[in-house]
Homo-oligomer: A and B are copies of this chain.
Amino acid sequence: MQIAIPIYPAFTALDAVGPYEVLQRLPEADVVFCSEERGIIRTEQGMLGISADRTLDEVDRPDIIVVPGGMGTRTHLEPDDPYVRWIAKVHETTEWTTSVCTGSLMLAAAGVLDGVDATTHWGARGLLDQLGAHSVPERVVERGKVVTAAGVSSGIDMALHLAELIEGTERAQALQLGIEYDPDPPHDTGSLEKASQEIVEMTGIAMAGEYDRASQMHSLGEPTAG
């Protein structure tokens, strides 16, 4: 069972590594990080580099794809982009096509989400709609063989959901116990619907990544943040 995770400059690390940590523990799982060229791909702030061990061309028939999000998605939304073309092509034969955070924008650009319910980072819901999907404010959305997850950390929940679909409830529970996923966030402010306006605004100001993302969306005619 080949699980391909395409990465590109300025992707968000946890979008990719959360699902990786779950899915690599499935029996028969062969996870491969791939990119346009082999080599080290840097995340948004450049402080973390992950090795792309295969080119996209070398991964031509994965069983599962997990497309991470990140600011870098914004330069991979054109029909002739190599990632967009790769997603459109491999989607024809995947068993599961999945995304985390703004990775769903790339799925949409590839035509995978035309008129389909999907989720994304709360700050990109409008943009997802502009790209032809029907955004819904849920953490994990499964429609046919397409499973999309909301922002960043939600990829862990998505991957456990997928593990259950693939290997059954007990195996998924054992995986969850193996990574001791008994989450206990210090506060209950992890979704747009739960956070105060003040906190939402602070996100935009304090976090360069989110701020830039908002700016870019604004330049695309998108209202900032949500």
Contact = CB atoms under 8 A, between A and B. Distances in A.
Given A13-B20, A187-B169, A192 B177 contact: yes
Contacts of A35: none
Given A13-B20, A33-B48, A33-B49, 15 more contacts: A13-B17, A24-B45, A30-B47, A49-B53, A121-B180, A139-B182, A152-B180, A153-B156, A157-B184, A157-B185, A160-B186, A170-B202, A178-B203, A181-B185, A182-B190
A124 to B, nearest CB: 11
Interface of A: 12-14, 17-18, 20-21, 24-25, 27, 30-33, 40, 45, 47-51, 53, 101, 121-122, 139-140, 150-154, 156-157, 160-161, 164, 169-192, 194-195, 198-200, 202-203, 206-207, 209-210
B49 A183 contact: no
B177 A152 contact: no
A215 to B, nearest CB: 15
A179 B200 contact: no
9 A-B pairs with least C-beta separation = A151-B180, A182-B190, A49-B51, A183-B183, A14-B21, A182-B191, A152-B179, A174-B202, A17-B17
Nearest to A225: B177
Contact of A47 (B32, B154, B156, B207): B32
B190 A207 contact: no
Given A13-B21, A24-B48, A174-B199, A180 B206 contact: no
Nearest to A149: B180
A85 B41 CA distance: 31
B156 A177 contact: no
